Amino acid sequence: MRKLVSFFTVFTLLFLACEGPQGPPGFDGRDGLNGLDGEVIASSAFEIVLDFTPANNYEFIEPYGFNVLPTDVTLVYISWEVDNGQDVWRLLPQTEYFNDGVLVYNYDFTQTDVRFFLDGTTDFSLLDPSYTDAQVFRVVVVPADNVGRIDISNLEAVQEAFGITEFSRR
């Protein structure tokens, strides 16, 4: 008897819950964080060739030229060497050791630009031009919540994860 009463109670509640007039339509929502319109979550990338000189204080600032969200992360890779005709890319920072100190290729970024710079204890003015001239970098801006899900030290893995097939040249 108890099962029969429970069955009718549940059936009645379900049946009654599905009846009635439709309520008023809701307000249009916004897609982003804190009420801001959402952005397309995709990665942007470019390649740049730089010379580090005393005239530019061994640094270079490049505006993105596209919208970067406050939560995005910028990754920078340097063309480190060529192995059997293939470029080998390394995630910055990268360090070279010399008898008189160290050279560090490094970067920092804001929401509007990325800054490439030399750091370290060696005298930059005495460096061979192979360390300062025509340095090739690839810049990838990715949504921050995706950074921990892939091996960011591997440029090919980053390209595959974010569908990057080419780097625009600057």
Q: What is the pLDDT of residues 16-54, one digit of tens each?
A: 555 567 766 655 554 545 444 544 455 689 999 999 999
Q: What is the pLDDT of residues 120-160, one digit of tens each?
A: 999 999 999 999 999 999 999 998 877 778 899 999 999 99
Is the per-residue pLDDT at 10 higher than 90? no
The answer as to whether 2 is a domain residue is no
Tell me what the mean pLDDT of segment 82-99 comes to: 96
The answer as to whether 52 is a domain residue is yes
Cβ atoms 58, 133 nearer than 8 A: no
> Domain holding 71: CATH number?
2.60.40
**pTM of the full structure:** 0.74
- Residue 129 main-chain phi, psi, to 5 deg: -55, -20
The answer as to whether 118 is a domain residue is yes
